[in-house]
Structure 1
Amino acid sequence: MKALLLSGGSGTRLRPLTHTSAKQLVPVANKPVLFYGLEAIAEAGVTEVGIVVGDTAEEIREAVGDGSAFGLDVTYIPQAAPLGLAHAVLIAREFLGDEDFVMYLGDNFVVGGITDLVDAFRTEQPDAQILLTKVPNPTAFGVAELDAAGRVVGLEEKPARPRSELALVGVYLFGPAIHEAVRAIEPSRRGELEITDAVQRLIDTGRDVRSTTVSGYWKDTGNVTDMLEVNRSVLETLERRIDGAVDAGSEIIGRVRIEAGAKVTGSRIVGPVVVGPETVIADSYVGPFTSIAGGCRIEDSEIEYSIMLRDSSMSGVRRVQASLIGRNVEVTPADRRPAAHRFVLGDHSRVRISS
């Protein structure tokens, strides 16, 4: 079995952060989301991985390399434009050959991994296995319709009138029959080759398509709210480890990981929290479910339930929460007089002001 990991796409829902960085490399608990997918694939015993890349190809290549750090053999597959999940299968035909494969969306997060799913697919050998989960907003996803016996009878991408609450999770398992299906379908109204249409063709031609409802935790990390929720979920499993320097005037409570080279003085940190290497936290409060990357500086400030990327700083700022702070960002107080707000904001930003 091989794996196809999708790492193209423009990440519009995470802008302005993704104007300058691949959405799959935004960190959760100080590790890129993409790495969790690679680790899950390796744990399932799959070693040959094709990574579909787009505009951020060089950044993905630099982060992943040849895959040896994960015990994988990685092949990069360029995609000129994000033309749909089925298009990714189409352009990966030479790499995939006629082997079974798992297709994993690089910005998705599945707690518990995919080992059991891969093992069952290898044993039972259906033509396709899709993962489903109940969601409150099925119009934003591919949606599956099941019959009374639980068999998949219909699939539709982002339907205006969903026939169920069951959304497709971003992990699929396929046999070689999928290749004929992706060649046979036409672009959707969105101009993309939809994987839902390809799987529907398998159903229509009598192929064996099965589904599994995910009982564990799954998130599509395409927006800030979900990124913070996934960060929270991962930090829940954090083990306490203090490798950095903490002075006697600081208080460290609960599951806190402070990496080597980090320095904490006169501060209170309440876990779960992870603090990256060479980060300095002075006279500050860091609250639960916060990830601070390496090379950051937090002075005389308060932050909780947030993600701060590398080489950013915060000074003299009271209570930042539920925030995603990018790389090389500087956060400081505004002047008290005149009473005005001053911003430098990227396209598609969202701002909430307490006044």
Structure 2
Amino acid sequence: MKALMLAGGRGTRLRPLTHTSAKQLFPVANKPVLRYGLEAIRDAGITDIGIVVGDTGDEIRRTLGDGGDLGVRITYLPQEAPLGLAHCVLIARDFLGDDDFVMYLGDNFLVGGINALVEAFDGSGYAAQILLTPVDDPGSYGVAVLGRSGEIVGLEEKPDSPRSDLAIVGVYMFSPAIHEAVRAIRPSARGELEITDAVQWLIDHGHPVHSHRVTGYWKDTGRVHDMLECNRIVLQSLTGRLDGTVDDRTEVIGQVVVEPGAVVEESVLRGPLIIGADTKVLRSYVGPFTSIGDGCTLEDAEIEYSILVGSATVRGVSRIEASLIGRDVEVTAAPKTPRTHRLVVGDQCALRLA
């Protein structure tokens, strides 16, 4: 069995962060989201992985290389434009050959791995296996409609009036039958080749399609609050270790990871949280569910339930929460001035001012 990892999306819902970086490389607990999926695939015994890349392909290549450090073999498959999930299968035809494969969306986060799902599909005779989970806003996802016996009778891609609350999770199992399906369908009204249309084609032509309800934690990390929630879930399973330098005037509470080279002085660390390598935390409070990347600086600051990417600086600011702060960002206290706001703000930002 092979795997097809999709990492070509533009991440419009995470802008402006994704103007300068691939959304699949945004860190959760200081590890790229994409890497969690690759590890799940590897742990299921699949080591031959094709990664579909787009505009951010060079950054993804630099980060992952040939996959050797993960124990897998990566083949990169360029996609000239985001033309739909089924289009990804189309351009991966030569790589996939006639093997069964798992297709994994690179911005999806699934706790518990996919071992059992791969085992259930292997040798089952199904043409496809899709994962479903109930959601509050089904119109934002592909949705499955089930019959009275639980069989899949229809699929809809981001419908205006959903007939079901069962969203299709971004992990699929396919037999080679899917290749005929993706060649047969036509672009949707969005101008994309939809994987839901391809699976519907399989159903309409008598191919067995199995569904499986996800009982564990799943998130599409395409939005800010989803990213923070995933970070919270991962940090909950943290085992504390203090590999950096923490002085005796610092209070450490709960599960806290301080990576090598980090320095913490006169601060309060209330876990679960992680502080990256070569980061400095001085006279600051770091609260629960916070990930601070490598090479950051916190000085006379307070922060919790947030993610700081590498080389960010927060100085003299109280209090930051539920925030994503990108690479090389500097957040400092304003000088004592009249109570006015003077802003220089890029496109598609969100500000909340006291």
How far apart are the structure 2 equivalents of 1:291 and 1:187?
40
How far apart are the structure 2 equivalents of 1:259 and 1:341?
37
Amino acid at match of 1:59: E
For the aligned residue pairs, the C-alpha RMSD in angstroms reads: 0.6
Matched, 1:330 2:330: yes
Shift of 1:352: 1.1
Shift of 1:333: 1.1
Q: Which residue of 2 aligns with 1:347?
A: 347
Q: Which residue of 2 aligns with 1:4?
A: 4
Q: Which residue of 2 aligns with 1:123?
A: 123
Structure 2 counterparts to residues 129-168 of structure 1, below 5 A: 129-168=129-168
Amino acid at match of 2:116: D
Q: Which residue of 2 aligns with 1:93?
A: 93
Q: Which residue of 2 aligns with 1:34?
A: 34
Structure 2 counterparts to residues 62-101 of structure 1, below 5 A: 62-101=62-101
Local SS of the residue matching 2:59: helix
Q: Which residue of 1 aligns with 2:320?
A: 320
- Does structure 2 retain, via aligned residues, the 8 Å contact 1:15–1:346? no
Structure 1 residues 68, 125: CA separation in 2 closer, same or farther (over 3 Å shift)?
farther
TM-score, normalised with respect to structure 2? 0.99
Shift of 1:260: 0.6
Structure 2 counterparts to residues 250-269 of structure 1, below 5 A: 250-269=250-269
How far apart are the structure 1 equivalents of 2:341 and 2:23?
29
Q: Which residue of 1 aligns with 2:203?
A: 203
Could you tell which deviates more after superposition, 196-205 or 332-341? 332-341
Q: Which residue of 2 aligns with 1:55?
A: 55
Q: Deviations over 1:275-328 (max 9, x none)?
A: 000000000000000000010000000000000000010110001000000000
Local SS of the residue matching 2:172: strand
Over the matched positions of the two proteins, sequence identity in percent amounts to 64
How far apart are the structure 1 equivalents of 2:36 and 2:337?
47
How far apart are the structure 1 equivalents of 2:46 and 2:140?
30
How far apart are the structure 1 equivalents of 2:207 and 2:191?
26
TM-score, normalised with respect to structure 1? 0.99
Shift of 1:214: 0.3
Q: Which residue of 2 aligns with 1:283?
A: 283
Shift of 1:124: 1.4
- Does structure 2 retain, via aligned residues, the 8 Å contact 1:334–1:342? no
Q: Which residue of 2 aligns with 1:188?
A: 188
Amino acid at match of 1:308: L
Amino acid at match of 1:317: V
How far apart are the structure 1 equivalents of 2:346 and 2:113?
35
Could you tell which deviates more after superposition, 328-337 or 341-350? 341-350
Q: Which residue of 2 aligns with 1:311?
A: 311
How far apart are the structure 1 equivalents of 2:198 and 2:335?
57
Q: Deviations over 1:189-246 (max 9, x none)?
A: 0000000000000000000001001000000000110000000000000001000001
Shift of 1:125: 2.9
Shift of 1:69: 0.9
**Which ranges in structure 2 are unaligned for 5 or more consecutive residues?**
none
Amino acid at match of 2:60: I
How far apart are the structure 1 equivalents of 2:343 and 2:153?
51
Q: Which residue of 2 aligns with 1:271?
A: 271
Shift of 1:338: 2.0
Amino acid at match of 1:218: W
Amino acid at match of 2:195: I
Matched, 1:297 2:265: no
Amino acid at match of 2:347: D
Local SS of the residue matching 1:74: strand
Local SS of the residue matching 1:210: strand
